[in-house]
Chain A
Amino acid sequence: DADVTQTPRNRITKTGKRIMLECSQTKGHDRMYWYRQDPGLGLRLIYYSFDVKDINKGEISDGYSVSRQAQAKFSLSLESAIPNQTALYFCATSEAGFSSQETQYFGPGTRLLVL
C-alpha cells in the first residue's frame, strides 16, 4: 500500500464550485505539505503543517484553505474554484526536525481542471 495517498486522483469542476482534495499518510510523519505543479514552474508550496495545531501559509496560499484533521490527514480546499487553479496538486510528508537526510515523500497527485 502507498505511504501517501490522495483522493480524488482526477477532478473536473466548474468555476465557483467548492472542492476538497484529501491526503492521508501512513508514514507516521508530523509534517505535511500541499504543493501545486504547473508546467515549467516546478512545485510551489501552498500550505504546510508541522503538527495538528500548527498550520502555515506557503508561497501561494490565496484562494486556498487547509484542515489538519489528524496527524495522518491533511485536506486542501478551494472555496470558490477559478480556472487558473487548474493544476496538478501534490501532498507531501516529512519527519519533524532537520536531519542530515532531508527529504519529503510525495503522494501520486490530483489532477484538477476548473472549467
Chain B
Amino acid sequence: QKEVEQDPGPLSVPEGAIVSLNCTYSNSAFQYFMWYRQYSRKGPELLMYTYSSGNKEDGRFTAQVDKSSKYISLFIRDSQPSDSATYLCAMTHVGAGNMLTFGGGTRLMVKP
C-alpha cells in the first residue's frame, strides 16, 4: 500500500463549480502538507502549504487537513478553465528533512 493515496481522476467539472480534491495517508508522522499544481508539459509548482490540522485559505483555494483521519483536501471555488491541471498532494515531517512523499496526482478538467 502506498503511503499517500490520491484518486487519479480525471475529474471533469463545469466552469464555476466547487472542486474537491483529496488525499489519504498512512504515516501519522506527517506534519507538513502541500498541494502542487502541474500544467501539461510543465514542472509542479507549489500552490498551498499547511502545517498540522486546520484550514488555510488563499483566494479561491482552501486547503484542509484532518490529521485524526489522515485526510487532506484542496477546495477550489468558482473553478476556471485555467485551473485545468494535475494536482499533486505532498507531505513531509521534521524527521524526513526536505524529503517529500507525493500522491499520484488527480487530473482536473474545468470545461467552459
Q: Does chain A bind chain B?
A: yes
Chain A residues closer than 8 Å to B49, beta-carbon distance: 101-103
Chain B contact residue count (CB 8 A cutoff): 25
Q: A108-B43, A109-B41, A109-B42 are in contact. Are A102 and B103 (CB under 8 A)?
A: no
Chain A contact residue count (CB 8 A cutoff): 24
Interface centre among B41, B51, B94, B98 (most CB of A within 10 A): B98
Partner of B43, one of A4, A31, A42, A94: A4
Partner of B97, one of A98, A106, A107: A98
Tell me, in angstroms, the Cα distance from A99 to B66 when the chains sit together: 22
Q: A43-B88, A94-B98, A98-B98 are in contact. Are A106 and B32 (CB under 8 A)?
A: no
Chain B residues closer than 8 Å to A45, beta-carbon distance: 99-100
Tell me, in angstroms, the Cα distance from A100 to B100 when the chains sit together: 14
Q: Mark B29-50, 1 if CB is under 8 A from A, else 0.
A: 0001010000001111110010
Residues of B near any A CB (own CB < 8 A): 4, 6, 8, 32, 34, 41-46, 49, 51, 88, 90, 92, 94, 97-100, 102-105
Residues of A near any B CB (own CB < 8 A): 4, 31, 39-45, 48, 90, 92, 94, 98, 100-109
10 interchain pairs, CB-CB under 8 A? A43-B88, A45-B99, A94-B98, A102-B34, A102-B49, A104-B46, A104-B100, A106-B44, A108-B41, A108-B43
